[in-house]
């Protein structure tokens, strides 16, 4: 009887261990694959002419992508591909990318060091700083720092990094949000709708010098 109980115990333990092993394998299979940085770099080579070989665009109308949050980059690529965010060039580029391609490129870009930008106009910078840090209370315009952080670092998976971004690019995007040309962020559309041209240029100039 004792021998039988011992065998029964061993059998139960064995089944339990086997079950745990299967569960571990299933969890491993279900876990998303880690991005492949080498593939990401290779895929990004086609983007270098517009965005710089290391993601630091020298063309002020094209965004710097280096050190951007990968979740944000993937979201933008998905929306370019689906047409939710309209841009003829980027829609064509994104159309050729798989989900894995997007994740690989975004992960690689997030490892690149972002080059500092600079503000151009002292008067505009003062106004831009006021808007960025404190908003405009009497017009119910929220401070940019609330979502994008005081240093412009942003919040991963929610709000993009802005620090050092080209003034021309940021101005164009805020204007596009205001005019409904870019409509993939209800929050940004509502904020930009309340800003005039000078305020858009001012906050864009301030962001360019943030680091």
Question: Helix axis angle, 167-179 relative to 197-208, nearest 10°?
Answer: 140
Ordered domains of the chain (ranges, CATH)? 37-110 (1.10.760.10), 122-208 (1.10.760.10)
Percent of the chain with pLDDT over 90: 82
pTM of the model: 0.84
- Which stretches within the chain are classed as H helix? 2-30, 37-44, 48-51, 70-82, 88-95, 99-110, 122-134, 145-148, 167-179, 186-192, 197-208
For residues 100-126, average pLDDT: 96
- Look at the block and give the residue holding tokens 């943030």: 210
Please give the mean pLDDT across all residues of the chain: 90
For the stretch 152-189, pLDDT in tens is 999 988 899 999 999 999 999 999 999 999 999 999 99
**pLDDT value at residue 10:** 44
Coil/strand/helix, residue 141: strand
Whether the per-residue pLDDT at 15 is higher than 50: the answer is no
What is the DSSP code (8-state) at residue 12? H
- Give 112's pLDDT tier (boundaries 50, 70, 90): very high
Q: What is the mean pLDDT of residues 203-208?
A: 98
Task: Map residue 136 onto helix, strand or coil.
Answer: strand
Comparing 161 with 17, the larger pLDDT belongs to 161
pLDDT, mean of residues 135-152: 97
CB-based contacts of 203: which residues, under 8 Å, 6+ apart? Answer: 127, 128, 131, 132, 144, 170, 174, 195
pLDDT at 16 over 80: no
pLDDT at position 9? 45
């Amino acid at each position: 009887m004792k021998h039988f109980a011992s065998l029964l115990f061993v059998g139960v333990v064995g089944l339990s261990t086997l079950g745990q092993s299967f569960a571990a394998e299933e969890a491993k299979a279900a876990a998303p694959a880690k991005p492949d940085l080498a593939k990401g770099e290779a895929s990004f080579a086609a983007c270098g002419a517009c965005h710089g070989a290391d993601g630091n665009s020298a063309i002020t109308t094209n965004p710097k992508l280096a050190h951007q949050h990968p979740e944000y980059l993937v979201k933008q690529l998905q929306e370019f591909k689906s047409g939710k965010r309209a841009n003829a060039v980027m829609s064509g580029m994104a159309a050729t990318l798989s989900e894995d391609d997007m994740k690989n490129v975004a992960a690689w870009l997030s490892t690149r060091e972002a080059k500092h930008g600079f503000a151009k106009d002292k008067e505009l910078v003062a106004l831009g700083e006021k808007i960025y840090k404190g908003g405009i209370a009497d017009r119910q315009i929220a401070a940019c720092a609330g979502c994008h952080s005081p240093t412009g670092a942003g919040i991963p998976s929610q709000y993009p990094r802005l620090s050092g971004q080209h003034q021309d690019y940021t101005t164009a995007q805020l204007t596009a949000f205001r005019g409904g040309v870019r409509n993939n962020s209800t929050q940004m559309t509502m904020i930009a709708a309340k800003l005039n041209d000078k305020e858009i240029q001012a906050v864009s100039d301030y962001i360019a010098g943030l680091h």
